[in-house]
């Protein structure tokens, strides 16, 4: 049985939908846009969201078939976990759990190391036939690390939600994602954040439940 949404959330989505008008998005893409607007209070995000062809259907299939979800922050992991428990019961891991506590921050980041470590570990153990969905809401270096691995011939994710937030390397990492072979959902420019990336994932989990 489908878990009902909270009445306040339902009313909020009705309000958002009435103010968006015609978006040209399909039902699943629309639900993602509505959830990230709900999480941010920012209607301008409609102008920044981008989807690769077939990305939502590909992600839903992967989720329904037991793929993992990887996040770049514990905040995103915490935001996604309740929806996962109510829907697909996906295994969610934060890449920081595989990163060393101390690093030379002038050379790399914990997020970049964590992404590389967990991807290589999963590939060795599981062959990644149903590769994880990756949720990036903070770290452009984690995104770059993943894209490097894909370019080197390692497994392609089932989905990359590319929504790192900020200014240094952020737009560049998103542009590289959109020019890669990875299926993506992206907020172009400097906009993003853990809550928005998690909201996009939660919309897909809800769709996968159906």
Q: What is the DSSP letter of 4?
A: P
Cα distance between residue 210 and residue 208, in whole Å: 5
| Residue of 38, 110, 116, 174 marked active site | 38
Q: What burial class does residue 107 get, using C-beta atoms within 10 Å of its C-beta: 0-12 exposed, 13-18 middle, 19+ buried?
A: exposed
C-alpha 106/C-alpha 36 separation (Å) is 33
Provide the 10 A C-beta neighbour count for residue 145: 23
Q: Which has the closest alpha carbon to 111: 88, 84, 87, 138?
A: 138
Which of these, 113, 94, 93, 89, lies nearest to 103 by C-alpha position? Answer: 113
Output the six-digit token pair for 27: 């039902």
3-state secondary structure of 71: strand
> Is 6 among the residues known to form the active site?
no
Q: Annotated active-site positions, please? A: 38
């Amino acid at each position: 049985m489908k878990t009902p949404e909270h009445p306040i959330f339902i009313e909020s989505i009705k309000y958002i939908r009435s103010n968006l008008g015609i978006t040209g998005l399909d039902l699943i893409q629309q639900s993602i846009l509505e959830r990230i607007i709900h999480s941010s209070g920012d209607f301008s995000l409609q102008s920044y969201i981008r989807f690769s062809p077939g990305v939502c259907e590909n992600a839903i299939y992967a989720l329904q078939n037991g793929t993992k979800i990887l996040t770049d922050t514990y905040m995103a992991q915490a935001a996604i976990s309740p929806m996962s428990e109510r829907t697909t019961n996906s295994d969610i891991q934060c890449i920081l759990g595989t990163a060393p506590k101390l690093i030379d921050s002038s050379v790399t980041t914990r997020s970049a190391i964590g992404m590389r470590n967990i991807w290589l570990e999963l590939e060795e153990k599981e062959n990644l036939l149903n590769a994880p969905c990756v949720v990036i809401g903070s770290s452009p270096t984690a995104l770059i690390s993943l894209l490097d691995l894909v370019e080197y011939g390692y497994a392609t994710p089932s989905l990359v939600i590319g929504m790192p937030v900020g200014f240094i390397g952020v737009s560049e990492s998103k542009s590289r994602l959109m020019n890669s072979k990875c299926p993506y959902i992206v907020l172009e420019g400097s906009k993003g954040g853990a809550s928005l990336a998690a909201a996009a994932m939660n919309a897909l989990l809800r769709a996968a439940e159906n």
